[in-house]
Amino acid sequence: MARRPPPTHGPLFAPAPRRVVDELTVLLPVPPSANDLHSHGSGRPMRSDAYKAWIVAAGWRLQAQRPGRVPGAYILLLAVPEAETKADLDNLSKATSDLLQKHGVIDNDRKARRVVLDWHREHAELAATVRVVPPGVILESISPIWPRPGALEAA
């Protein structure tokens, strides 16, 4: 008679695969600022206590919403409650992207083609929207890549 695998292994306990979607929005607690994600004790960076607590709380909040998965290239839109944080707006995207990747909502945070950050006053949670960028679609640049003509000479 064959041995059965331990109850913590096998398809019975494997999480169900996420359904593929074109867009999803999840509400999460506001993450710590990027400046507060790591502490540098004993010469090497370690996750701070605040970051560890946020990872657990945000992970449970994310799982409860049962989001789908956006494979491949994507656009990330983050709406942050202005009253809930004193962090700079651009310091809040790293932790959120890492959490979405860890939980399989996105394949890899390097596949972000655009990240848009905005403040909101609707509720106390960060709203993260992930939209697929279809294969072959090239997003038009929304920021100047070169200085406007004559700007360098005027300086």
pLDDT in tens, 19-54: 999 999 999 999 987 666 766 667 777 888 888 899
Q: What six digits make up the tokens of 131?
A: 């939209």
DSSP 33-68: PGGGSEE-GGGS-EE-HHHHHHHHHHHHHHHHH---
Q: Which of 7-11, 34-38, 104-108, 147-151 has the lowest mean pLDDT?
A: 7-11
**In-domain check, residue 56:** no
- Alpha-carbon distance 93 to 59, whole Å? 15
Q: pLDDT value at position 59?
A: 95
Is 62 within a domain?
Answer: no
Better pLDDT: 112 or 8:
112
What average pLDDT does range 111-122 have in this prediction? 95
Q: Does residue 12 sit within a domain?
A: no
For residue 72, tell me if it sits in a domain.
yes
Residue 6 placed within a domain:
no
The answer to whether residue 149 is domain-embedded is no
**Structural domains in the chain (count):** 1
The answer to whether position 59 is within a domain reads no
**Domain presence at residue 114:** yes
Q: Residue 131's domain spans which residues?
A: 17-34+68-137
Residue 5 banded pLDDT, cuts 50, 70, 90: low
Query: Mean pLDDT across the chain, nearest whole number?
Result: 85
Closest CA to 54 of 118, 94, 99: 99
Cα 130 from Cα 68, distance rounded (Å): 10
Is the pLDDT reported for residue 97 higher than 70?
yes
Structure-token pair, residue 47 = 């996750």
Domain of residue 85, CATH code: 3.30.1330.70
pLDDT value of position 149: 74
What's the CA angle centered on 49, arms 46 and 55, to 5 degrees? 90
Considering only residues 70 and 12, tell me which one the structure prediction assigns the higher pLDDT.
Answer: 70
The residue type at 75: I
Over residues 59-81, mean pLDDT:
96
